[in-house]
Structure 1
Amino acid sequence: MFNKTSDQTAPPGGAPPARPSNTRSVFASDLKITGEISSVGDIEMLGDIDGNVTARSLSVGAEGRMNGTITAETVEVRGKVDGQISADSFTLRAAAKVAADVTYRTLIIESGAQVEGRFARHKA
């Protein structure tokens, strides 16, 4: 009379679905975060962060401000960053203001960017 039908959207074996690595999170300009942020995807920061960020990529917008440690494959800064940065690819846009110790594999600094700190290339 009543038959249980299987859920066609559930993964086989009842395992939880894998977290996608192509996700993008945007933090609005009116947002202030204090603490740790971790993502397997991309983060666009338009507000303020006091803390540490780990992500596949981080983009700090023109009005964005970050104070803490950044660990990401790709980091692009248009706003202000104070702290430490570890990235494979690090890009400073013309409006960027960075006071940080940076380790990188690839570095791009546009004319007009303000930089203070130590820069070191990742050892191969």
Structure 2
Amino acid sequence: MTTAPKPDDSTAARPRANAGKSVLAADLRITGDISCTGAVEVMGEVDGSITAGTLLLSHEGVVKGKVTAETVDLRGRLNGRIETTGLTLRSAAQVTAEITYKTLSIESGAQIEGTFTRNKD
């Protein structure tokens, strides 16, 4: 009986240098969590948490849940929690969230309800 080799735990947690961009199409609905080291563009709907290097939420995109990403660029609707280093809220953004950020940019027209906490680290 042969057994498959065990993955090296030391490499499993490291981000991949060739991490790409994942695009979730407008007709896609996901219930569950998403995790990647690269960029995620959401044009559809996600009900769950997203952990990524970068999150791009398009005009038609909807996220209900927690977002943890190095950079977040929002044009669509988000209801939940955001933890990020750099947050950009575009004019079409509709956000109801608890937000922790380091840098913040808000375009005129963005609709925001929630709390903002600046991370000073």
Report the TM-score when normalising by structure 1: 0.84
1:67 equivalent in structure 2? 64
Q: Considering only CA atoms, is the larger Rg found in Structure 1 or Structure 2?
A: 1
Aligned-pair identity in percent equals 49
After TM superposition, give the deviation of residue 123 of structure 1 in Å. Answer: 2.5
Q: For 1:82, which of 62, 68, 79 is the aligned residue?
A: 79
Match of 2:99 among 97, 102, 107: 102
Q: Which of 30, 43, 47 is residue 46 of structure 1 equivalent to?
A: 43
Residue 32 in structure 1 maps to residue 29 in structure 2: yes
Which consecutive unaligned segments of at least 5 residues does structure 2 have?
1-10
Provide the C-alpha distance between the structure 1 equivalents of 2:16 and 2:103, rounded to a whole number of angstroms: 28
Instruction: Give the conservation status (yes or no) of the 8 Å contact 1:21–1:40.
Output: no
Which residue identity lines up with residue 111 of structure 2 in the other structure? Answer: Q
User: How far 1:101 sits from its partner (Å)?
Assistant: 0.3
Matched AA of 1:23 = G
- In structure 1, stretches of 5+ residues that fail to align are 1-14
Deviations 1:59-102 (A, max 9, x none): 00000000000000000100000000000000000000000000
Aligned structure 1 segments of 4 or more residues deviating by more than 4 angstroms = none
